[in-house]
Structure 1
């Protein structure tokens, strides 16, 4: 995968790997991948209005108390990540269900495009006050279609 293939991911975040992310086996600990996926997913959800700006203790749900909750995440590790390297994490939506949004994620080298990890996640739209699943709001659906270039 080259950086050019990241063109299919409308949201991409970049970050350096820190020395402290390395584990006893000489590569970045596998759990970091989920943090990288999360960073891209949160940036995506902010772009579509599913999460808002937050300050310490602030409510980050939509005005009607609806927000995302992670239901599933998975990763395929393709190549160990070794310090020093700058990475990019991409997110795109592959499916919008009644009350769920399915994301595809990738993590690649920012400079060389080497693909390190690919995976996905599913978030459910939840009314946090009652902890009930609710349909994905129409404005969020429309924002996804626009961001993905399908609308």
Structure 2
């Protein structure tokens, strides 16, 4: 995964409270960085995520969250979190995320988050709003030139070891 796959980047600096005893970004904070970057991505589109949830009675629920750790991220290190929508389904959004060194090409972490748009009264899946589809299409986030979807997450070699 490379920086060229993304148009949106959110800068962060690892704060003391986010580091573990080894001086590295604590694993749970990767998802917090991803979540913050996704919210800012919507702001940049521009799409009023909170307003849509309030006005339409729908909201997105996380149904999948994956982090791949590629290299250590250290206390006080500056990084850029990249966000793109890799797949736009009927009721779901699949985000691909990456953490790079600030203004650098070194991939430090990769992630995938899947949201499902949900009616808040019935808790059932509902279609992604058309205005959001149009904004995403305008930024050409989804897929590659050949029409395929690029995934940083290789799930073909996973096995269930909890049995």
Q: Given the two structures, how large is their TM-score scaled by the length of structure 2?
A: 0.77
Q: Deviations over 1:50-84 (max 9, x none)?
A: 603xxxxxx66152122211111101100011122
Contact in 2 for aligned 1:70/1:124 (Cα 8 Å): yes
Partner of 1:148: 140
Aligned equivalents of 1:9 and 1:67: distance in 2? 25
RMSD over equivalenced CA pairs, Å: 2.1
Contact in 2 for aligned 1:17/1:84 (Cα 8 Å): yes
Distance 1:28 1:99, change over 3 A: same
State which of 29, 32, 37 in structure 2 corresponds to 1:35. 32
Report how many residues are paired: 141
Q: Deviations over 1:25-47 (max 9, x none)?
A: 33111111101111121122332
State which of 44, 49, 52 in structure 2 corresponds to 1:51. 49
Show structure 1 runs of 4+ deviating over 4 A.
none
User: Structure 1: where are the runs of 5+ without partners?
Assistant: 53-58
> Which secondary structure does the structure 2 equivalent of 1:132 belong to?
coil
Contact in 2 for aligned 1:49/1:62 (Cα 8 Å): no
Partner of 2:16: 19
Partner of 2:116: 124
Partner of 2:70: 78
> Which secondary structure does the structure 2 equivalent of 1:131 belong to?
coil
Partner of 1:56: none
Distance 1:147 1:71, change over 3 A: same
